[in-house]
Amino acid sequence: MRTMRSLMAGAFAATLLAATAIAQETELPNQKWSFENPFGTYDLAAAQRGFQIYSQVCSNCHSLQYLHYRDLAGIGLDVEQIKAIAANVTVPDGTDDQGQPKEGPATPASQFRSPFPNAKAAAAANNGGIPPDLSLIVNAREGGPNYVYGILTGYTDPPEGFKVGDGLYYNKTFPGHQIHMPQPLREGTVDYTDGTGNSLEQEAHDVVTFLSWAANPEAVERKQMGVRIVLFLVFLTGLTYAVKRKVWADVEH
């Protein structure tokens, strides 16, 4: 029996190992994120700086279509700030009296503006590559925030003998190492309004914090609710177990 147990445990461990070992050809950076542990929350200052980077850099090519401007309350912006941000953006706004599509200033209820009207237009403007929507990018890649951080900081010179295709760029994190996106962030790409230093690492860290929030805006509420619910359930389990013991107290079994 004991040998069987260890055999089972071994098989289980092998299964777990196999699950974690699923091919990660390049080692990803292992950054510390404010939101990663069960009690973690989003570093709102970093997320706001990240939003600044998204607005000034990423949004030129990447959409964030599942977000609305009102959602920015989630990174600590107030109503006036959100209204001001939205008012500066021009979005499609139905049709005019002649039935022609017209544009107008966004409101907090508007979807984030997409840089291209459709996938074909996006591909045409980007040498055939379609810049992916960033709403879920952190969830949509193995490695999550570390992967996106790895891409943003992964632009290096190709190793000797590596031929990079036309209109492609070498990136050590990207699978296959040839990416359509030219290096988006460098040291000093943005000037932060809050005076934070603008090294590449800082910028990448901030924008990944913002994108992690964008992918899981419910995460903080979810985890806080989870702590309360699990504590309650542990208490309830204890109580139920005590009841069970009492009910069974006079039964030989």
Partner 1 sequence: MVGLHKSEFTNPVINWIDTRLPVFTMIQKEYGEFPTPKNFNYFWNFGALAMVNLVIMIATGIFLAMNYQPNSELAFGSIQHIMRDVNYGWLLRYIHQNGASTFFIVTYIHIFRGLYYGSYKAPRELLWILGVVILIIMMATAFMGYVLPWGQMSYWGATVITNLFSAFPVVGPKIVTLLWGGFSVDNPTLNRFFSLHYLLPFLLVGVIFLHVIALHLTGSNNPLGIDVKSPQDTLPFHPYYTAKDSVGICVFLIVLSVLVFFAPNYLGDPNNFIPANPLQTPADIVPEWYFLPYYAILRSVPDKLLGVCLMFGSLLVLFVLPWLDTSKVRSVRFRPIYRVTLLVWVVAVFVLGACGAHKPEGIWVTLSRIGTLYYFAQFLVILPILGKLERPLPLPESISHPVIGGRGGGPLPTGAAAKPMEKA
Question: At closest approach, how far in Å is the CB of 237 from partner 1?
Answer: 4
Separation between Cα atoms, residue 150 and residue 162, nearest integer Å = 20
Separation between Cα atoms, residue 182 and residue 60, nearest integer Å = 13
Binding track, positions 187-216, relative to partner 1; x by CB under 8 A:
----------------------------x-
Please identify which residue in the block is written with the tokens 């071994």. 10
Q: Does 253 bind partner 1 (CB under 8 A)?
A: yes
* 175: number of Cβ within 10 Å: 14
Instruction: Say if CB 192 and CB 52 are below 8 A apart.
Output: yes
Part of the chain binding partner 1 (CB under 8 A), chosen from 44-52, 99-107, 164-172, 245-253: 245-253
Question: At closest approach, how far in Å is the CB of 82 from partner 1?
Answer: 16
Q: Which two tokens stand for residue 123?
A: 């591909």
Part of the chain binding partner 1 (CB under 8 A), chosen from 14-22, 79-87, 187-195, 204-212: 14-22
Of residues 103 and 218, the one with the C-beta less far from partner 1: 218
Part of the chain binding partner 1 (CB under 8 A), chosen from 88-96, 151-159, 178-186, 227-235: 227-235
Task: Give every CB contact of residue 58 below 8 A, 6+ residues apart in sequence.
Answer: 134, 184, 207
**Residue 169 phi, psi (nearest 5):** -130, 150
Separation between Cα atoms, residue 67 and residue 211, nearest integer Å = 11
Separation between Cα atoms, residue 152 and residue 186, nearest integer Å = 9
Separation between Cα atoms, residue 48 and residue 74, nearest integer Å = 10
Q: Does 248 bind partner 1 (CB under 8 A)?
A: yes
Q: DSSP readout, 36-57?
A: -STT----HHHHHHHHHHHHHT
Q: Does 109 bind partner 1 (CB under 8 A)?
A: no
Of residues 186 and 222, the one with the C-beta less far from partner 1: 222
Q: Does 84 bind partner 1 (CB under 8 A)?
A: no
At residue 145's C-alpha, the angle toward residues 141 and 150, to 5°, is 85
Of residues 32 and 228, the one with the C-beta less far from partner 1: 228
* 202: number of Cβ within 10 Å: 17
Part of the chain binding partner 1 (CB under 8 A), chosen from 43-51, 52-60, 98-106, 235-243: 235-243
Binding track, positions 150-189, relative to partner 1; x by CB under 8 A:
-------------------------x--------------
Residues that bind partner 1 (CB under 8 A): 1, 4, 7-8, 11-12, 14-15, 18-19, 22, 38, 65-67, 71, 132, 135-136, 139-142, 144, 175, 215, 217-218, 222-223, 225-227, 229-230, 233-234, 236-237, 240-241, 243-244, 247-248, 250-253
